[in-house]
Amino acid sequence: MNVTIKDIAKQANVSTSTVSRVLNGQDNFYATKTAKKVHKAALKLGYRKNTNATELVTKKSNTIGVIMLANKTNFANGIVDGIQDEALHNKLNVIIVHAGENDPVLQKKAIQTVTERPVKGLLIVGIELADENLQYLQQTGFPYLFISAEFSQDNVPFITTDNFYSAYTATQFLVDHGYRKIGLAGISDQSFMGKRRIAGYLDALKHNKINYEKNWLQPGNFSYQDGVVAIKKYQKNSNVDAVLCGSDYTALGVLNEAREHGLEVPGDLGIMSMDGTELAQYISPEITSIEQSFFDMGVKGAKMLQKSFTNDFYQYIPFKIVEGNSTLK
């Protein structure tokens, strides 16, 4: 039913070997005249290549598999954009599988879906896999690289923003702008990434001789609700004059809830975010934030998959602070 190289071969009066060589552009292995015949036949017949067959025999692949966090914050989209951009320039295909938020079953399923085919390698975006899934991934033998996730082990390669340093820098920024009682909201204290950020935050406090007070840390999941809840807790049990937020959504939650309580931003309360998606600039006041280079992470990740790297490879991508109006000048 479907057109194959056999059909082309017949139509063009050559062998399938020749068809294959022409279609793959293996220069100098065929006469121009032959090539013309073949291309003409292929076009006429409406030939479309069966990549499954090719991959089966070559055991190679031009496809990058992406396993992606599917949640409300959309930073992952920026990373995927970068991956696609790099892929396009190198004639690579990209297939994406969403892995939900923190569901090990979905994660496993996603890994299976991608690795059932001989992909060039795997990029895991915004997810820290459950231990058993990380192990499963490693067993497949495919090259893999985490993007926007951090690991302690030196046997898991990753590309990310330096979480410790960015949290440190953000906290220092708040201190430099007159804040002393600084809360941290919407960051998971389960993930290694979260732990690094918390460590950076605490280190900056210490460095400025600020005593961390209980309840300043309000862990969460980068969600809007986390921000709302944090302010509620702060109003009850402690008082802060600034909040460093895990995501723009969290910052938005903090902002709205703070207003509910009659707090002026940035006077009564400074707000800073660590996402730096587009949203930050659309909120009024614009949210001061750590702007991560998500696109670059994607590009870099796709680039790495075309090289070879060892398991202790990791790279921190530079970030910058974009000053908005949610913090004092």
Partner DNA sequence: CTGAAAGCGCTTACAG
**Which residues contribute to the site for DNA (CB under 7 A)?**
2, 4-6, 13-18, 20-21, 23-24, 28-31, 33-34, 47, 49-50, 53-54, 56-59
In the list 5, 156, 252, 271, the residue contacting its own copies (rule: CB under 8 A) is 252
Which residue stretch of 107-115, 164-172, 234-242, 264-272 sits at the interface with its own copies (rule: CB under 8 A)?
Answer: 107-115
Task: Check: CB of residue 151 under 8 Å from CB of residue 158.
Answer: yes
State the binding partner of 315 from its own copies, DNA, none, CB within 5 to 8 A by kind.
none
For its own copies, the closer of residues 68 and 205 by Cβ is: 68
State the binding partner of 16 from DNA, its own copies, none, CB within 5 to 8 A by kind.
DNA
Residue 253 interacting with its own copies (CB under 8 A):
yes
Residue 261, φ and ψ in degrees, nearest 5: -90, 10
Beta carbon of residue 70, minimum distance to DNA (angstroms, whole number): 29
In the list 13, 15, 52, 237, the residue contacting its own copies (rule: CB under 8 A) is 52
> Residue 254 and residue 260: Cα distance in Å, rounded?
10
For DNA, the closer of residues 19 and 66 by Cβ is: 19
Beta carbon of residue 43, minimum distance to DNA (angstroms, whole number): 14
Which residue stretch of 177-185, 232-240, 275-283, 305-313 sits at the interface with its own copies (rule: CB under 8 A)?
Answer: 275-283
Name the token pair of 122. Answer: 């795997």
State the binding partner of 4 from its own copies, DNA, none, CB within 5 to 8 A by kind.
DNA
Beta carbon of residue 136, minimum distance to DNA (angstroms, whole number): 17
Residue 48 interacting with its own copies (CB under 8 A):
yes
**Residue with token string 């406090």:** 205
Residue 74 interacting with its own copies (CB under 8 A):
yes
Residue 53 interacting with its own copies (CB under 8 A):
yes
Beta carbon of residue 174, minimum distance to DNA (angstroms, whole number): 56
Annotate each residue in 110-149 with x if it binds its own copies (CB under 8 A) or - if it does not, as one string: ---x-xxxx--------------------xxx--------
> Residue 8 and residue 5: Cα distance in Å, rounded?
5
For its own copies, the closer of residues 138 and 239 by Cβ is: 138
Beta carbon of residue 114, minimum distance to DNA (angstroms, whole number): 16
3 state SS for the chain: CCCCHHHHHHHHCCCHHHHHHHHCCCCCCCCHHHHHHHHHHHHHHCCCCCHHHHHHHHCCCCEEEEEECCCCCCHHHHHHHHHHHHHHHCCCEEEEEECCCCCHHHHHHHHHHHHCCCCCEEEEECCCCCHHHHHHHHHHCCCEEEECCCCCCCCCCEEECCHHHHHHHHHHHHHHCCCCCEEEECCCCCCHHHHHHHHHHHHHHHHCCCCCCCCCEECCCCCHHHHHHHHHHHHHHCCCCEEEECCHHHHHHHHHHHHHCCCCCCCCCEEEECCCCCHHHHCCCCCEEEEECHHHHHHHHHHHCCCCCCCCCEEECCEEEECCCCCCC
For its own copies, the closer of residues 44 and 72 by Cβ is: 72
> Residue 210 and residue 204: Cα distance in Å, rounded?
9
Interacting residues with its own copies (CB under 8 A): 2, 46, 48-53, 55-56, 63, 70, 72, 74, 77, 80-81, 84, 88, 93-98, 100, 106, 109, 113, 115-118, 139-141, 224, 249, 252-253, 256, 259, 278-279, 282, 284
